[in-house]
Chain A
């Protein structure tokens, strides 16, 4: 048997309306984030998290040293966030079509 024989070819749309809309929304959100970050950079704003700022404020009020359960240095946080969101995307994608696909009728 030749390679590729008996293989049913399924036409999978790669740039359907759903993908287009998702990409448009993603680029709009990224543009807003980049624009805000650029503005903050130009005006020498630190861009720190308010959670950290209030935790530091509370630590100084209580005269204790607060700490997160785990402290991820530098780019490790981006890595952890990426891994988590990759699998989040897989879970959402797995259920999405079953729950939200349009009825063919």
Chain B
């Protein structure tokens, strides 16, 4: 889903920058608010950001199709730090991937963030919330979120390309042509992302259930919080 510079015309990448800004600005406000509420949120957010960086840079070989692709990590990020904050950290991740690793481009950061950080994150988050509302097991809700978020990311990337480049070909047909380039390799990786998301959420539930919104559990304080409480008491 790393669309490179030079493919999208200026009006298209400008539009995606504008749409992305509509999510990033409230994301920044949400981060500010949650940092004040929870002392652990900032280091936790940085950990999640670097995890998204690694996961979305990691090209894995898929022998079924003979090509490589990468998972996203944003459905997991959206569940644990919030979908709007995920839009912000994905923007930062995509910037560093573009300037240091040659993944994606600068003009296309808006489009790439919309597909990976916003649609991938929000779709995964909605699946998680919906399934948890029906008391679905944690691993199932996390797994479905990971799978749907991954596939939605690539569907959106294909749509972004098709919207600008379909020409005389019907939009939906061109969309499916581009998605056919991603899909066969991405489906096995979406299953891997589902397993990964489910395992990480289960481990987090066992260790720090209070960090998972929508999951009740015994409140456990992190070392940072305990030090702060001790300082306040003394």
Residues of B within 8 A of A40 (CB): 61, 63, 66
User: Is B222 part of the contact surface with A, judged by Cβ < 8 Å?
Assistant: yes
Are A43 and B66 in touch, CB under 8 angstroms? yes
Are B101 and A80 in touch, CB under 8 angstroms? yes
Residues of B within 8 A of A62 (CB): 7, 164-165
Measured in the bound complex, the distance between the Cα atoms of B57 and A46 in whole Å is 19
Are A91 and B47 in touch, CB under 8 angstroms? yes
Measured in the bound complex, the distance between the Cα atoms of B174 and A69 in whole Å is 26
Are A51 and B69 in touch, CB under 8 angstroms? yes
Residues of A within 8 A of B51 (CB): 88, 92
Closest A residue, CB atoms, query B178: A54
Among B5, B47, B101, point to the contact of A81 (Cβ < 8 A). B101
Are B178 and A92 in touch, CB under 8 angstroms? no
Measured in the bound complex, the distance between the Cα atoms of B171 and A57 in whole Å is 16
Among A46, A53, A97, point to the contact of B181 (Cβ < 8 A). A53
Q: Whole-angstrom distance from the CB of B210 to the nearest CB of chain A? A: 11
User: Is B106 part of the contact surface with A, judged by Cβ < 8 Å?
Assistant: yes
Measured in the bound complex, the distance between the Cα atoms of B51 and A1 in whole Å is 47
Measured in the bound complex, the distance between the Cα atoms of B59 and A92 in whole Å is 21
Residues of B within 8 A of A22 (CB): none
Taking CB atoms and an 8 Å cut-off, the chain B residues in 157-208 that contact chain A are: 157-158, 161, 164-165, 167, 174, 177-178, 181-182, 185-186, 207-208
Q: What are 13 inter-chain pairs, A to B, with CB distance below 8 A?
A: A36-B62, A36-B63, A40-B63, A43-B63, A43-B66, A49-B59, A50-B181, A51-B103, A54-B157, A57-B178, A61-B174, A98-B222, A98-B223
